[in-house]
Amino acid sequence: MKSVLESAGRSVEQQRKDHFRRKAVVRNVHKVFECKQDGKDRKEMKERVKAEDWGSEIGKYGGLWLTEVQVDRRSSTMGCQDERKIAVESQLKFRKFVLSRRMCMGV
């Protein structure tokens, strides 16, 4: 019995070292995971801000144009050719980056 207690006492030091080493490994894994998650969160936030910007941009031109008639009607009310070009480009960007992204995500 005495020899079992002596060997257990001798191995305590090694067990402590192993415990703290494993604990450090777990902490590092958590830090890596948090960094990856922060990067994803930042990317999603950036995309959300861009989508809001494009939404407000098409809002300047009467919202999303759904039909050919709406395109003709709303573009004819604009003064110069440059303004029409900007309006059409904003409609296309909104469709490409906002609506197509929502379809891919299943929203």
pTM: predicted TM-score of the whole model, two decimal places: 0.53
Which domain range does residue 12 map to? 2-105
Query: Which string of b and e fits 69-87 if b means at least 16 CB within 10 Å?
Result: eeeeebbeebeeeeebeeb
Number of domains within the chain: 1
Per-residue pLDDT of 25-71, as tens digits, reads 888 888 888 888 888 888 888 888 888 888 888 888 888 888 888 88
